[in-house]
């Protein structure tokens, strides 16, 4: 039998779980609606680009075009790797490393930094909307959150001396933990320890976290270190919940491979 104190804690735990579930459902609905709306806007462009990409994957009438077709037709576990959503995801850390970071380190104009940052971050919404139109791949589901983390870590390099260590260290720790969990899970799948069907998709806590981080990075573009630090602090609990949920999802949906 429960005593009054135990009943109170059980009820409190139930209320907390209900609040989290409500937040997840509400946030997931918003993100899905945004992706569907953006998908409708870019659908004509997406269909045109996909047709052109498919053309180059099948064009083999010259040695040069045959090389291109082989490169574009790379497969992993029976799925195409070179898809537009995956290309857009991969562009995120590449643009951060070779365009945004040099501009910030070497004193590029603020307007140009802001423009390139906006272009880079836009790939995060475009890849999700594009995937709704032409389908997700397992490789893309893993690639997208990894690229998010790499983009964040690259971007904050010039600002580490301006941000409180007690804020940046916990956030980067959980980001590294998320990165490690995904990489280890992928490695375990390759070894046959985990089933290929194990759940690796980004959860809603990770999506909310990255949205907050994007706003914080926007303030850093204009040297708003105090507001950026506050937002990174807000993002940290979401990073923690995302890491816990990711590990839990993998454990729950990971039957042994036979």
Query: Each residue of 26-44: b (16+ CB within 10 Å) or e?
Result: eeeeebeeebeebbeebee
More confident call, 202 vs 14: 202
| pLDDT, tens only, 149-176 | 899 999 998 998 899 999 999 999 999 9
More confident call, 29 vs 93: 93
Stated pTM of the model: 0.86
- Residues forming a β-bridge with 76: 79
Identify whether the C-beta of residue 195 lies closer than 8 Å to the C-beta of residue 256. yes
| pLDDT, tens only, 37-54 | 888 888 888 889 888 888
| pLDDT, tens only, 208-224 | 999 999 999 999 999 99
More confident call, 195 vs 154: 154
Pick from 8-12, 65-69, 85-89 the range whose average pLDDT is largest. 85-89
Task: Quickly state the pLDDT bin for 186 (edges 50, 70, 90).
Answer: confident
CA distances to 73, 82, 96, 99, 116 from 154, in Å: 30, 24, 6, 11, 14
Rg over alpha carbons for the chain, rounded to the nearest Å, is 21
Task: Quickly state the pLDDT bin for 56 (edges 50, 70, 90).
Answer: confident
How many C-beta atoms surround the C-beta of residue 87 within 10 A? 17
Q: What is the dihedral of CA 74, 131, 183, 185, to 10 degrees?
A: -100
In degrees and rounded to multiples of 5, residue 224 shows phi and psi of -90, 70
- CA dist 32 and 137 (Å) reads 17
Residue 257: predicted pLDDT = 46
- Tokens 């052109």 correspond to 52
Does position 35 have pLDDT exceeding 70, yes or no? yes
Does position 225 have pLDDT exceeding 60, yes or no? yes
User: Of 249, 215, 224, which Cα lies nearest the Cα of 24?
Assistant: 249
Residue 15: predicted pLDDT = 67
Residue 237: predicted pLDDT = 94
CA distances to 8, 10, 11, 71 from 3, in Å: 9, 11, 12, 66
Residues 6+ apart with CB under 8 A from 209: 235, 238, 239, 242
User: What average pLDDT score do residues 107-115 get?
Assistant: 93
- CA dist 14 and 7 (Å) reads 10
Instruction: Give the number of C-alpha atoms closer than 13 A to the C-alpha of residue 2, restricted to the C-beta side.
Output: 8
- CA dist 16 and 186 (Å) reads 32
User: What average pLDDT score do residues 60-82 get?
Assistant: 77
């Amino acid at each position: 039998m429960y005593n009054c104190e135990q009943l109170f804690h059980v009820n409190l735990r139930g209320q907390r779980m209900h609040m989290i579930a409500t937040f997840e459902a509400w946030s997931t609905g918003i993100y899905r609606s945004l992706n569907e709306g953006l998908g409708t806007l870019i659908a004509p462009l997406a269909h045109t680009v996909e047709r052109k990409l498919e053309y180059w994957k099948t064009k083999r009438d010259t040695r040069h075009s045959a090389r291109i077709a082989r490169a574009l037709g790379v497969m992993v576990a029976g799925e195409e790797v070179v898809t537009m959503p995956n290309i857009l995801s991969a562009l995120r850390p590449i643009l951060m490393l070779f365009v945004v970071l040099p501009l910030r380190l070497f004193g590029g104009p603020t307007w140009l930094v802001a423009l390139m940052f906006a272009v880079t971050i836009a790939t995060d919404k475009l890849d999700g909307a594009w995937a709704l139109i032409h389908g997700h791949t397992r490789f893309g589901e893993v690639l997208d959150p990894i690229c998010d983390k790499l983009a964040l870590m690259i971007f904050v390099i010039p600002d580490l001396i301006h941000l409180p260590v007690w804020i940046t260290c916990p956030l980067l720790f959980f980001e590294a933990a998320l990165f490690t969990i995904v990489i280890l899970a992928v490695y375990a799948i390759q070894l046959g320890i985990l089933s290929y069907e194990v759940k690796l998709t980004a959860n809603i806590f990770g999506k909310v976290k990255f949205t907050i981080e994007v706003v914080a990075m926007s303030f850093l573009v204009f040297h708003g270190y105090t507001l950026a630090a506050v937002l990174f602090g807000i993002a940290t609990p979401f990073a923690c919940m995302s890491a816990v949920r990711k590990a839990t999802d993998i454990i729950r949906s990971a039957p042994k491979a036979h």
